[in-house]
Every structure is written in structure tokens, then in C-alpha cells.
Structure 1
Amino acid sequence: MVIISVICFLCPGMFNSLNATGGAGQIARDVPSNANTGLYCAFVVFGLLGGSIVNLCGIRWTIFVSGLTYSLYSASFIYLNHTSSGTFTIVAGPILGIGAGVLWAAQGMAMMSYPVESHKGQYISIFWAIFNLGGVIGGIVPFVANYYQGDGSQVAPLSDAGYIAFVVLEAAGATCALLLAPPERVIRNDGSYVAMLRHTSVRSEAKEVLKMARNRWLLLLTPMCVASNFFYSYQWNAFNGSLFTVRTRGLNSMLYWASQMIAAYAISLLHDCRSVNRRRRSILSLATIVVLANVMWGCTLVYQVRYTHSPLATGESTDYPHGLIDFTQSQRAAGPMVLFCFMGIVDALWQSFAYWIIGTITNDSQMLARYAGYYKGMQSLGAAIAWQLDARSVPLIAQLAANWVLLDVAVPLMLYVAMHVKDSSNEATCPPTGKHCAKDYSQIEML
């Protein structure tokens, strides 16, 4: 789990950090936004197929190849800096979407199926802490690279050195995948095997993917999945990219992901609290998240009504009172910087709950690979829509409203699922016998 976390720390963690600076470090946001739209469109398809690809091809090489697509995406911005042609970047976006769909399906399968039921919250928090450490460290790159540009108010793209640093770190993350063992060789703390070594094929995986369209729990959680990445384009571009100087965006990115590390650990304590039954834990967790999320969007609205555009959208200075905010302007910076950290907290709580609630449906590793792929696919559908809204310069207040409405539409359905959570999933885990269990499966190779 730590190895998988390090991979995500160096690959999607760096990608998140790059995008959190606003416009992926570019002056104009049209090319990055269009690339991200293509990325998430491909992610929708390969998120849904990713679990089956992992089941068919194994976890090691699928993650390795997928990780390299992150380096390709970051490298495309070096080409953009020198040629002003966005073709390479826009093509690299969908390629990354393919790789990301497979990588996240593998990651979700491991994070939800490897731990015993009483430790699932802890494993999610471990992953989220290491993963977001990538965002923290990645935020240092644009902060340091742009620190000496006067007060940072000059609008300039991230330097080649900054992008090269991202490329190298992401390639290192992909290489770490070669250290992974196959899931069927992984043993839990209680001695039980994680995976049941079962026959699978392209035909059987296709049938299982189609079955997800009739899975009641996944359908109920679909709005939650769609909402889970919808807000990134607004928070990274319309807020961080619109209000702050370039170097302050990098600092904000560091604080955003650091806040997520703390929040993920805090919510894991509730998710794994054995003195409270799992149904009650799920309801308490959801209630906490809903209250904090609505407070967060309410506070954001207070700032949003004060400006309408940003240099990322128009190339002109923002119309926020007194211009862009630099972190050295403590009186102006404190409020919006704290709010941006609060956004990170809500993000971590939402994502942690999403993985945890999906992990309560089953303990079967192959099923969870498909469920994780479904989650990331629907998540990417929302992200694709959101990035296209941003690329088309939809009014910022309308983007905020869309985020807020989508959040509250998902809540009643999430509550219904939370109220039906059982203390233990129906599928039996493999007993600590040294062999893979055969319950309810017809084609099994015994070790």
C-alpha cells in the first residue's frame, strides 16, 4: 500500500500540484483546459474499463505504463513554452486519461481490498497522506521557480526547469510500480489472502462491466462520483488562479494538499471507530462532510461576488479589488488563503468517504477493481464537463453555483446508501489457510 501511495505521490500527485497552480503554470488557460477536457473524456471510458484491464493484465506493468503518461503530459508544456502550439499538449491530455483510468482502478482495488474491514479507513488515510505529500512537494516547484519575479505579480508561464522537475519525478513514480507484487501474493494482517486467484477473460470482464449499469448501490452513488472532481477547475483556476500571484499560487498549492493530509487522517478515526457500528459511522461522517462543504461554498460566494474574471481567462489583470493577492500582503491574503486550505479539507473528506463507502459494498478484489474504475470514470465525466465550462469562460459565479447544486443533489442518495451499510460485507474474505478460498466461485486455481 505504501508503494502504491508513493507511485500516486509522484504521478497524479505532481499532476494535481501542476494544475493547482492555475492554468497548469501557463498564462492562458485555454490549452490546459482543453487538454484536461480531453483527458477526462478518455478517463471516463478507461476508468470504466480500467478495473477489467487490471484484472486481465495484472497490477505491476499496467501501473508502470500508466505512470509514464503523466511524464508525457508534463513534457508537453515544455514544447508549448517554446512553440506556442498547443497541439502536443491537447493530444497528451487524452493519452494521460487512458493511463490515469487504469492506474486509479489499480490503486482503488488495492486500497479498498487489501485491508481488513476494521482498518479500511486507516489505509485510505495512509494513502491520502502520502499521495498528497506529492502535491505539497510539487507546489514547491512553481513557488521557488517564480519566487524572485519581483513581488510575483508578473504573469509568466512556469519555466522549463519547473516542468522538467515534474517530468523526472513522474518517471520515477512509474518506475516504482516494478516493485509491486501481484495481489494474489499479498496477505493481510490477520493471515488471510487478499485476492482469490480466479479465471477471467475479456468476455467475462465485459459482462461484469455491463452488470455495473444495474448495480443499485453504484447507481445511487453516481452523483457523488460525478461531484468528486467537478470542483477542481473552479478551485484551481477560478479561485487560486484568479486571485493570487504566480508564486502565491504555488504556496497555496502546498497548503491545499497539506490540509488534505490532516483531514484524511481525522476522518479515518471515525471510519474505523469500533465502538460505533458501521451504519452510524457512515451517517455521522456524511453529516460532517455536508455541513463543512456547504459552509465552504458559502464562504467562497462571499469572495466570488467581488470579481468576475481573471488573467487566466482574459490575459488582463483581475477585477478583484486592488488586483492580485501576494502572500506578503498578510491582511489581504489571510482570508482567501485559509479558505483555499478549507477547500482542500473538504476535498479530502469527500474523497475519503467515497472510497470508504464503496469499500463497504464488497471485499472482493476483482469486483473492487471494477468499482474503483467506475468511481474514477464517473468522477472524470464530471471533471470533463467542469473543465469545458472553464475553457468556454462560463461566468465564474455560474461555475460556483453548478458546484454547489451538484453537491447537494448527491447528498440524499448518499444518505440512503449510508443508512443501508452493514457491519460486514457479504463476500467472505480468504481464510488464513495458505490457500485461496473457493466460496461461490467455479473456476479457481488452488495454490
Structure 2
Amino acid sequence: MATQDDAKVATASEKTGDYSTDATDTLALPNSWKYKRLSFFGFQLPWYASPPVQLVIVSFVCFMCPGMFNALNGMGGGGQMDPKANNRANTALYSTFSVVGFFAGTFTNKLGIRTALSFGGIGYCVYVGSFLSYNHTQNLGFTTFAGALLGVCAGLLWCAQGAIMMSYPPENSKGRYISWFWMIFNLGAVIGSLIPLGQNMHVTYAGNVNDGTYVGFLVLTLIGAGLAWTLVDAKSVIRDDGSKIIIMKHPSWKSEIMGLWETFFTDPYILALFPMFLASNWFYVYHFTEINGAYFNVRTRALNGVVYYLFQIVGAYVFGFALDFQGISRTMRAKLAWAALFAVIMIVWGCGYKFQTTYDRAWAKDETNPKMDWTDDGFGGPFALYIFYGFTDAAWQTCVYWFMGALTNNGRKLANFAGFYKGIQSAGGAITWALDDAGTEYMTMFAINWGLLAGSLLIALPVILWKVKDTTSLEEDVKFTDETIDEVAAKAVVIAPGADTTGKV
């Protein structure tokens, strides 16, 4: 394979002459604006069609769209005192998301990354606009519809994002790429949370956020939807070592659907990660509505949201860069990451049990009970617990993505893995928002969360121990079909710079 690819590159190089070689870099790149290197204060920046730049663009799309969604939901009740509209919208959202998520890899592979991301961004715009409308009309039907629409849109957006984040980087940088994404994405939620904090700074009672908060979120989501179109095609992306992304050629929808189902049969171990997928969104309603929305007043909810997402950035940084530490093997890093994640879950949620014994749903619904303000005595403990819940969220998401990325480098498989991940986690989200809407006791919700997190780690342990390798060979990546490696190479090639890609991707 390597010899054939080298020959292709050499032949293409001789025939086309479409290369430029930077004096400071031996890597030959095509003559295009996408591969021009710029300097900034003495530092050479990566070319536009490089994995780091493309990841930053995707990160800012999520900064503007899901980031604002997270900031809005982090306020508790979507910024509304009565969480009914938010519960109904999010139940509809995660219900459609759970269905679309399973097939999102198929649609994303067929439609392309830019279309999937931009379409997804539009769903976030409609969702935010529905809450602005609800402030004046109390139209529960519109917010529920907007949630259902967002479930469809977000399924494509997150599948596209996951495929880029896991397949664009080389093996030894996947943890850092996940970390960079998660930090930028959560910075969006931090900025988004500063909007209601600034606008509700002096609101010490329990109430709704004002119109300006929703307008600010709406503008940012619109910008994010447009930003998706600045991405380049996956076939144009070139890594620092000259390699390109494994891109599959799929001539029909049937081949895409078959590829999705083949994953279950060729990689059945992915089923052991499904409980981790389920747990990954289950705790949000507990964090946002049953702690932040139920226990704190408006301005304190906004402050909590800011610091919750700041600690998500910290969690992503710590776990992401540790997962790429080159001093020990990848198999050992996987085991240590599992152990660290289990320890963090047990410690933080163990402290959470003590806190949850101090109030219940009946207390939260009693409007005569004053909500906690940041000036009140005893604020420090619940505040610290809440921000460490944010830390564990980022640690969980970063590890799950890294585990999936460590199982394969194949872009098609990873798109399907990402689709499974978002579909399963969204099914969990739909259930837990519905449980809150049904009035399930807070302690019951807490117990389900803690049990699911700890139990899913135990179920996933065999995959971590036996399926994560120090490196993933091309032979392993193409074993999901009955074809030989040479036959698959005609459809999926790691294209080197300058190689003729016409008809191959």
C-alpha cells in the first residue's frame, strides 16, 4: 500500500507540477490559497486547509450555536421561572435527536460537512427565537416544535463535528484536538452566560430573563450557521505529515445504510459503550433545572453558568492533554483515563449526595422559600459542587470521544460512531427531561444519574482493556467490509499531497 501510494504521488508530481515548497518546510503542497502559510509575530501559522484550522472553525460554529443553547439551558428552565416550556421543548428535541442521531452518519457522509453544520445551526436559531416569542405569547406549541426541529438539525451538526474531531487529527494528537474543541466550544457557553449575567445583575428575585438575553443568543446562532460555509471539503485537508483523511466513496444511499448496519456486526464491541453514551446527557436536567434553576435566583444562576462552563474548559484541558501524553503507551493512557474518570465521578457525586439531602422538589416549588443568592451565607459549598459538576461533564465527554477515536482512524466508521453516540445520548436526554416534567423526586433523579455514570464505566471497561491498541493499522480499519485491502484502497485512500483525487473520493 505504501509503495503504491508513493508511486502515485511521484507520478502526479512529475505530471502536474502543482506544488509549492516553503523554504522553511520540506513538505510539498498544492499551489492554492488553501495551503499558503502566514506568519504572525514570528510564528508560522498552519495553512487554511489543515486539521487545526478546520477544527477551530468547527469549534466556533459550536461556540455560536450549541454554546448558546448550553448557556440558555444552563440558566435553568431555558431562562423561564416555570420550566414547563423548557422541559417540553427539550423532550421533543432529544426524542427526534435520538432517531436522527442513529442515521446522522449516513446523511452527513452523503450531504457533506458544511451542509450538515449549517443546517444544524439554523435549528438553534429557531429554538432561541421560540423562547423570545414565549416571553410574550406563552405559546407552548411553538417552543415544542422548535425543540423537535432542533433535534433533527443538531443530529447532523454533532455528527459532522464528531467525524471531523476524531478523523482529522493524527493518532498522537487526538486528545489535544478534542481538548481544543471542547475548550473553544465551552468558551461560547461562558460568553453566552455572561449575557444574562450582565443583563440580570441586579435581579435578586426568582424570575424570567429579559428579551435582550434571547436577542443576543439569536444573533450569535445566526452567525454560527453562516460560519459553517467557510470550511473546506474533507478531501482538501492535508496534515502536517502530508497525509490526507480516509474518505469513502459511496455511490448510493443503499451503500451508506448498509455501512451503518455493518458497523454493528463488524464492531459489536461498540455496544458496550452505549451505556456511557446514554449517561453523557442524562445529568443535564439535574444540573440545570433541578440544581441551578431550583435552588438559586436569576443572577446567581447566570453566575453559576459562567463558572460551570469555565470549569468545563479546565476539565477538557486536563483530560485532553493527559490523554495525548507521549511518555506512556496509548493502552496505558486509556486505562489510567478510565481510573481517573471513575474516581472523579465517585468523589464529586458523593459530595452531591450530601447536598441533595438539603432540599427537595416541594421546597423548590414553594415560592415563599427564598432562592440562594451569591451574597447569602452557605453559598460557597453548593457553588463549588456545581462548578465541579461542570468539570466532570467535560472530563466525561472528552474521554468518550477519545475512546472512540482510539478504536479507529476510518472517517466513515467514526461518523457512524458519532451518530450512535449522539443518538443514544439524546434518547437519554429525552427520558430525563420527561422525568423532570413528570415531577420525579430530585433524590430519585440524583440516584439514577450516579448509578448510570458509575455502572456504564464498569460495562465499558472490557473495551478499554482489550480493544484500544497503541496504534490502529489500515488493515484493522478496512476489516468492516468483505473486500480485500486493495479493493478498499480503490474506494478509500490516504491521499498524499498532489495525488489526483478525481473520482477517488
- Compute the TM-score of the two structures, normalised by the length of structure 1: 0.93
Select which of 45, 64, 71 maps to 2:118: 64
Distance 2:119 2:449 in 1: 33
Structure 2 counterpart of 1:385, one-letter code: I
Q: Does the Cα contact within 8 Å between 2:250 and 2:256 map onto a contact in 1? A: no
**Alignment correspondent of 1:407:** 453
Change (3 A) 1:235 1:223: same
1:34, CA displacement in angstroms?
Answer: 1.2
**Alignment correspondent of 1:166:** 217
1:397, CA displacement in angstroms?
Answer: 0.3
Q: Does the Cα contact within 8 Å between 1:184 and 1:197 map onto a contact in 2? A: no
Q: Does the Cα contact within 8 Å between 2:167 and 2:414 map onto a contact in 1? A: yes
Change (3 A) 1:212 1:287: same
1:381, CA displacement in angstroms?
Answer: 0.9
The answer for unaligned runs of 5 or more in structure 2 is 1-54, 478-484, 493-502
Distance 1:284 1:53 in 2: 35
**Alignment correspondent of 1:297:** 349
- 1:224 correspondence with 2:270: no
SS at match of 1:147: coil
Kindly provide the CA deviation profile for residues 208-251 of structure 1, in whole angstroms up to 9, marking residues without a partner as x. 22223333221010000000110000011111111111111111
Structure 1 counterpart of 2:239, one-letter code: R
Deviation >6 Å, runs of 4+ = none
Distance 1:253 1:439 in 2: 51
Q: Does the Cα contact within 8 Å between 2:345 and 2:454 map onto a contact in 1? A: no
- 1:6 correspondence with 2:97: no
Q: Does the Cα contact within 8 Å between 1:76 and 1:92 map onto a contact in 2? A: yes
Q: Does the Cα contact within 8 Å between 2:81 and 2:207 map onto a contact in 1? A: yes
Q: Does the Cα contact within 8 Å between 1:364 and 1:429 map onto a contact in 2? A: no
**Alignment correspondent of 1:109:** 163
Q: What are the residue-to-residue correspondences of 1:137-156 with 2, within 5 Å?
A: 137-149=191-203, 152=204, 154-156=205-207
- 1:417 correspondence with 2:417: no
1:45, CA displacement in angstroms?
Answer: 1.1
Structure 1 counterpart of 2:113, one-letter code: I
- 1:376 correspondence with 2:430: no
**Alignment correspondent of 1:213:** 264
Kindly provide the CA deviation profile for residues 59-89 of structure 1, in whole angstroms up to 9, marking residues without a partner as x. 1122111101101000001111111121100
Select which of 175, 185, 191 maps to 2:236: 185
Q: Does the Cα contact within 8 Å between 2:104 and 2:419 map onto a contact in 1? A: yes
- Compute the TM-score of the two structures, normalised by the length of structure 2: 0.83
Distance 1:439 1:347 in 2: 42
**Alignment correspondent of 2:372:** 325
Structure 1 counterpart of 2:190, one-letter code: V
**Alignment correspondent of 2:25:** none
Select which of 462, 485, 488 maps to 1:440: 488
Structure 1 counterpart of 2:71, one-letter code: S
1:18, CA displacement in angstroms?
Answer: 0.4
Structure 1 counterpart of 2:96, one-letter code: A
Kindly provide the CA deviation profile for residues 412-444 of structure 1, in whole angstroms up to 9, marking residues without a partner as x. 2221111011011233699xxxxxx96634546
SS at match of 1:188: coil
Select which of 299, 313, 316 maps to 1:247: 299
**Alignment correspondent of 1:395:** 441
Distance 2:486 2:134 in 1: 54
Distance 2:366 2:490 in 1: 62
Change (3 A) 1:22 1:310: farther
Select which of 311, 314, 322 maps to 1:259: 311
SS at match of 2:271: helix
SS at match of 2:289: helix
**Alignment correspondent of 2:333:** 281
Select which of 405, 422, 430 maps to 1:359: 405
Deviates more, 1:381-390 or 1:194-203: 194-203
- 1:269 correspondence with 2:315: no
Distance 2:355 2:362 in 1: 13
Select which of 219, 243, 246 maps to 1:195: 246
1:122, CA displacement in angstroms?
Answer: 0.4
Q: Does the Cα contact within 8 Å between 2:263 and 2:413 map onto a contact in 1? A: no
Q: How many residues are treated as equivalent by the alignment? A: 432
Distance 1:201 1:33 in 2: 39
1:193, CA displacement in angstroms?
Answer: 0.4
Identical positions, percent: 39
Distance 2:251 2:367 in 1: 56
**Alignment correspondent of 2:365:** 314
**Alignment correspondent of 2:43:** none
The answer for unaligned runs of 5 or more in structure 1 is 431-436
- 1:36 correspondence with 2:84: no
Distance 1:317 1:57 in 2: 53
Change (3 A) 1:200 1:248: farther
**Alignment correspondent of 2:77:** 23
Kindly provide the CA deviation profile for residues 335-392 of structure 1, in whole angstroms up to 9, marking residues without a partner as x. 1111111001111111000000001111111221111111111111111111111111
Q: Does the Cα contact within 8 Å between 1:193 and 1:429 map onto a contact in 2? A: no
**Alignment correspondent of 1:98:** 152
Q: Does the Cα contact within 8 Å between 1:129 and 1:260 map onto a contact in 2? A: yes
Kindly provide the CA deviation profile for residues 240-265 of structure 1, in whole angstroms up to 9, marking residues without a partner as x. 11111111111110101110111111
